[in-house]
Every structure is written in C-alpha cells, then in structure tokens.
Structure 1
Amino acid sequence: MSKIRSRLLSGACTGLAILAVSGCATAPSKMTTGSIPKLTKPVETMNETELQTASERIGKAYDANPKDRDTGLAYANILHMTGRDPQALAVMQQVAIAHPSDRSVLAAYGKAQAAAGQLEQALATINRAQTPDRPDWKLYSAAGAVLDQLGRSGEARTNYRMALDMQPNEPTVLSNLGMSYLLSGDLKTAETYMKNASQQPGADSRVRQNLALVVGLQGRFDEAERIARQELSTQQADANVAYLRSMLAQQDSWKKLASKDKSTKS
C-alpha cells in the first residue's frame, strides 16, 4: 500500500503535494511573477523533457537568489515533480530558514518532509503553521494526508472534515477523504467521495486519476482506463495508464482484476 499512500493530495497551498505524480492544485503552476522564469504551461501537464528544462531554468533563478520565497517554492515543486525529493527538502529547509513565520512556507516544508519520508516531522511542521485564531483549510487537509500515511485514519478524516467545513466541496479534500477510505479497504465509500470530487469545478486530472485507481481496484478496468485518459494528450494518458497498471500490480492485483473483468463480459 505504500505507493497508494503516496497518492494522497495534500491540497495545501503553494508548495509540494504528497501526490506522487504532480504538484498541488494551488501551486504556482503558471509562474509569472517576481524573478521566477515564465513557463509556457502548468507543470502538472509537462512531460519529462519539459520538466527537466523547467528545472534547469528555475534552478538558475534559485541559485541567483536562494532566499526568494516564490522561487524557492517553485523550485522545490519542480524537484518533487521530477522525483528529487531529498533535494526538494533541502531547498525548502533553506526557504523555511529565510521565512520562519510564513505559513505557506511552513506548509510546503511540511509536505516536503512528508515526501521525503519524515512523516512525524512533517506533521509537527504543518501543525506549527496552523493557528487557532486563523485556521487554514489547506493545512487541515495537509495534516490529514500525513496522518493517513501514518495509519491514523480517524484523525485524518477529522482533519478532512474540518477542511470541508471551511471549504465545502473542495475537490482535493474530497479526493483525500476518498483515498483515506481506500486505504482502509472501503472501496465503495472511497469511490463515492472520489466521484463527487471529480464532478466539482476545479477538479484536475490528479483527482480523476485517484478515481481511476479506486475503480480499477474494484475490477472495472476498462472504465478505469477511460477515466485515466480523460482530457489528456496521448502521451500523458499513456503515462497515466502505465502508472495505474503499476499501482494495481504492486499487490499482484492487475492480472486478477483483468481476469475478473473478462469473466464478467463472457
């Protein structure tokens, strides 16, 4: 279940997401302000070559001014997207030192810690960013994602519901809540939340990929593949389907589900 746990959407502001294949829904994907190089498309839709080019460009801007908040956040996000989580954590450590009271920085730092496997430290950092007088739904969602990875599903769901009280029908939180039920084996409830999430305005392809996963885990593979291919280029869709297959295969479930799917049609 380790790869499935890593697919939780943090939904928590300008930095890193815990989702395995892309950045946060509210991350600065169209980076056009300050000293950050302007990108031609959101990082979530970039292929490997485009991500590498973006990494080099933003890396140079970061080297020129490592204390710049937005550049550091953007660079850490790109590093996470390209699988360089230890380097992303190192960048966020420097940004957090330069901006120790910035809640968005602390939240991104916490998510970088989680992505690097430092779950207890991540939870402490995210909780430090949360304040009772000015609670932030994104921080509740981020804390929930870490708690789910720690196996503390009850506490995680409490945090998700507090986030939804503040931000009703937020797709990233609904998807996280669905993933929480998936992790506990309640696939029907998981699908209900994920379908709801995918139907909300602002739901992106990452939300739909989580829906595809839970549908595939129930043996409806053709439907899962259709969902995984929605609104994406052929290259991106093929990558998503390949990733979906790898997720299912980690428990040797791909062949079993494919066989079950065929038997229901015969």
Structure 2
Amino acid sequence: MSKRSSLASPARFLLPALLVLGLGGCQTNGIEDVTGALGVRSEPAGKAEAKPDMDALRERYRARPGDPGVALAYGKALRETGQRAQAVAVLEQAVLGHPSNKALLAGYGRALADNGNFQQAFDVLGRAHTPEHPDWRILSAQGAALDQLGRNEEAQQYYASAL
C-alpha cells in the first residue's frame, strides 16, 4: 500500500466530519428553519407556552387548509413538537395542492427526513432545489439524507455544494 493511499482513507472521512461541524455551527434560533431538520433541537420556550401556539396554528390550518403558508407553519410546528408523522401528512396534502411551491417541497422533504423516509426525502428535496436558485439548506438536507442511506461519497458532494 502506498503512502498516499494510506493517508487518503482517513482524509476521506475527515472532510465530511468537518463539513458537518461547519454546517452545525450555522444553526440559529431564529424563525426560519435553516439547518434542515435531521437533528433534534431544544426549544427555549416551555411546553406550556408552545401549546397555545399549536392550538392557534391548528385552528388556522383547519380554517384554511389550502393556504401554503399556513400549512408550512403548522407542519414546522408539528415537527418541532415531535409530531413527525402528522407533519408529513399536513405537508403532503399541501404539496398535492401546490406541487410547484419550492418552500412547501423543502418543508415536506425535511419532514420526511425527520420521519425516517430518507429516499423519499431526497427525491422531494431534489424537486425543491433548482440550480438557478441554489439553497444551501436544501443541499445540506439532501446530503444528510444520503448519509442516512449509506451513500456517503455522494453526500460529500452535496455538503461541498452547500458550503
């Protein structure tokens, strides 16, 4: 075995680790979900404060189930409270009504990934991303889905593009 090939093996795993650490450092606590959604975040608000917000979102969604913005907000809130399967269902219905809405596709893809449907998440996220309007958050989420599928080398390409 040559010296170069023995060094290439550890380096092959170092790059993805550095990319994950670098992207993890970009996480914010703002309103926008900027980190994908494959990790679990702790929320500063207590459950008592979150419940009235969920009730209000649920009522808004029931009143206007066809509104993509309401569906996206409700789906995100469901994901954040651990109701992953329900988030997938809400966002799936919204995407059926608005199949070209990139924000809905991105939210639906993240919800699928949260729920463990990694191949479907990757496919949906691919529909949410366009080369004309690249979004590092979607590329990062696609990379994470590929990692979960064991397609690590392909995932590295998505992480590199996200950077």
Q: Give TM-score scaled by structure 2 length.
A: 0.73
Does residue 54 (structure 1) correspond to residue 37 (structure 2)? The answer is: no
Q: Which amino acid counterpart does residue 55 of structure 1 have in structure 2?
A: M
The corresponding residue for 2:72 is 73
1:158 aligns with 2:157: yes
Counterparts of 1:114 and 1:19 in 2: how far apart (Å)? 10
1:17 matched to 2:37: yes
Structure 2 runs not aligned, ≥5 long: 1-22
Offset from partner CA, 1:92-120 (integer Å, 9 cap, x none): 01111122101111111111111111111
Partner of 1:93: 92
Q: Distance in 2 between matches of 1:148 and 1:47?
A: 32
Letter of the structure 2 residue corresponding to residue 82 of structure 1: T
Runs of 5+ in structure 1 lacking a partner? Answer: 1-7, 23-43, 165-266
Deviation at 1:80, TM superposition (A): 0.9
Which aligned segments of 4 or more residues in structure 1 are displaced greater than 4 angstroms? 13-16
Deviations 1:158-210 (A, max 9, x none): 1111111xxxxxxxxxxxxxxxxxxxxxxxxxxxxxxxxxxxxxxxxxxxxxx
Count the aligned residue pairs. 134
Contact kept in structure 1, 2:129 and 2:138, CA below 8 Å: yes
Q: In the alignment, does 2:123 pair up with 1:103?
A: no
Q: Does 1:141 align with 2:161?
A: no
**C-alpha displacement of 1:14:** 5.4
Q: Amino acid of the residue matched to residue 142 of structure 1? A: A
Amino acid at match of 1:45: P
Q: Is contact 1:14–1:104 with CA below 8 Å preserved after alignment?
A: no
- Amino acid of the residue matched to residue 146 of structure 1? A
State the Cα distance separating 1:138 from its structure 2 match: 2.1
Query: 2:37–2:113: 8 Å Cα contact kept in structure 1?
Result: no
Higher relative contact order (CA 8 A, sep 6+): 2
Give the Cα separation in 2 of the matches to 1:19 and 1:76.
Answer: 16
Could you tell me the percent identity over the aligned residues? 40
> 1:69 touches 1:95 (CA, 8 Å); kept in 2?
yes
The answer to whether the 8 A contact 2:143-2:159 is kept is yes
C-alpha contact 1:51 1:78 (8 A) present in aligned 2: no
**CA distance in structure 2 between the aligned counterparts of 1:50 and 1:155, rounded to whole angstroms:** 41
Distance 1:163 1:47 in 2: 33
Q: Secondary structure at the match of 1:113?
A: helix
Q: CA, structure 1 residues 126+91, in 2 after alignment: closer, same or farther (shift >3 Å)?
A: same
Q: Distance in 2 between matches of 1:134 and 1:80?
A: 25
Q: Distance in 1 between matches of 2:79 and 2:136?
A: 23
TM-superposed CA distance for 1:153, in Å, is 2.1
What is the alpha-carbon root mean square deviation over aligned residues? Answer: 2.2
Contact 1:96 1:105 in 2 (8 A): yes
CA displacement at 1:142 relative to structure 2: 1.4
Task: Tell me which amino acid in the other structure corresponds to 1:156.
Answer: A
Once residues 95 and 45 of structure 1 are traced to their aligned partners in structure 2, the CA distance between those partners, rounded to angstroms, is 28
Distance 1:46 1:153 in 2: 35
User: What is the CA-CA distance between 1:126 and the residue it aligns to?
Assistant: 0.6
> Which amino acid letter does the alignment assign opposite residue 18 of structure 1?
L
The residue aligned with 1:64 is 63
* SS state at 2:38 partner: coil
Q: Is the contact between residue 14 and residue 73 of structure 1 (CA under 8 Å) also seen in structure 2?
A: no
Give the whole-Å Cα distance in 2 for the aligned partners of 1:129 and 1:56.
29
How far, CA to CA, are the matches of 1:59 and 1:99 in structure 2? 20
